Copies of this chain bind each other. A is one copy, B any other.
């Protein structure tokens, strides 16, 4: 927190905020919270962080004004604050895709390999949902689906996909999505379903970006 005129002060505040985003675990916590509110326990499990460690990262996000917690019985339930949080992380992601060579490598060797087809964008998806020419598949855990999903989507948790595969139509294109652009759940769904002869594409983003761009979401 240096200071030397109000401009330097402002830059140091912007930097403090960037520092809070400057940790992979915290970015993952934000991604999870962008699906919907969660108690610390679930966040700790889904990120693989120890309980105390998850709690401390959440404190930092809270101090930065990015999340709030409320008590509900024995649990503290965290949720994302209002504000352009998803937008900022999307900007960071696009900057990394454009300027960081290592990111381009991972995309090329890992993600493009799994899904060599162009993913479908939000405008296209909306058109095709309207004409009913596509089945939209949400492969996130049930609780995240219930908190918010793209209207008209069918929820099958990736865990259950193999056993519930009969619920999917073979004669219609399927579009799979999950938590965000690099959420592996939808990549794995595409892989599994293609192997069984389904026509599947990925949606280019996840639920948080869909909502951040002002489109309607459904609950329950």
**Footprint of B on A, CB under 8 Å?**
2, 4-19, 21-28, 31, 48, 64-66, 81-85, 87-96, 98-103, 106, 110-111, 182-184
Contact = CB atoms under 8 A, between A and B. Distances in A.
15 contacts: A5-B184, A6-B106, A6-B182, A7-B182, A10-B182, A11-B25, A14-B24, A19-B19, A22-B22, A64-B100, A65-B101, A84-B91, A87-B91, A87-B94, A88-B95
A25 to B, nearest CB: 8
Given A65-B100, A182-B7, A106 B13 contact: yes
Contact of A18 (B12, B22, B98, B103): B22
A63 to B, nearest CB: 10
B182 A18 contact: no
Nearest to A187: B6
Main secondary structure of the interface of A (DSSP, over half): helix
**Across chains A and B, which 7 residue pairs bring their CB atoms closest together, nearest first?**
A19-B22, A65-B99, A18-B22, A91-B91, A12-B24, A83-B98, A11-B24
Contacts of A100: 13, 16-17, 64-65
Contacts of A15: 21-24, 26-27
Contacts of A93: 14
A94 B17 CA distance: 11
A191 to B, nearest CB: 13
Contact of A84 (B19, B26, B48, B98): B98
Contact of A13 (B89, B90, B102, B183): B102
